[in-house]
């Protein structure tokens, strides 16, 4: 089950993903004053350990980046329900994002 809280400042979104394999928080927000939206994945509920940071490609619009937040959240939920651990699920999401051209750069700390 994914709980989505949206409507934050500057297009921010937060989703809490509850799955069979793990619980994580997906946050899409501006990375800084002069940067665009990026995704942070946190192990567990908000304020947990940061697991990954995904930077979008520059060609994506703000709306496309917000839509991709939903794709990441749902993908993590499906992979977790298939009993995949968080680290592997993040790797799968990143590989698919690189393949489709939506992920520009990433850090996976999981």
pLDDT tens digits along 86-98: 999 999 999 998 8
Cα–Cα distance measured from residue 21 to residue 9, given in angstroms and rounded to the nearest whole number? 31
Please tell me the predicted confidence (pLDDT) of residue 33: 64
Q: Does residue 32 register a pLDDT over 70?
A: no
67: pLDDT confidence band, cut at 50, 70 and 90?
confident
Domain tally, the chain: 1
Q: What is the pLDDT of residue 37?
A: 73
Mean of the pLDDT values across residues 35-60? 84
Residue (of 30, 12, 27, 11) closest to 73 by Cα position: 27
9: domain range?
2-108
pTM of the full predicted structure? Answer: 0.85
Q: If you write DSSP's letter for every residue of 40-56 in order, what string do you get?
A: EEEESSTTSEEEEEEEE
């Amino acid at each position: 089950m994914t709980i989505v809280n949206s409507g934050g400042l500057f297009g921010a979104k937060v989703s809490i993903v509850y799955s069979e394999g793990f619980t994580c928080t997906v946050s899409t927000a501006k990375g800084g004053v002069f940067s665009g939206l990026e995704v942070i994945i946190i192990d567990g509920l908000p304020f947990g350990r940061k697991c990954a940071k995904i930077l979008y490609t520059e060609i994506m619009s703000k709306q496309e980046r917000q839509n991709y937040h939903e794709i990441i959240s749902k993908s993590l939920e499906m992979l977790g329900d298939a009993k995949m651990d968080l680290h592997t699920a993040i790797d799968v999401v990143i590989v698919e994002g690189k393949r489709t051209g939506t992920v520009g750069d990433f850090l996976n700390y999981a």
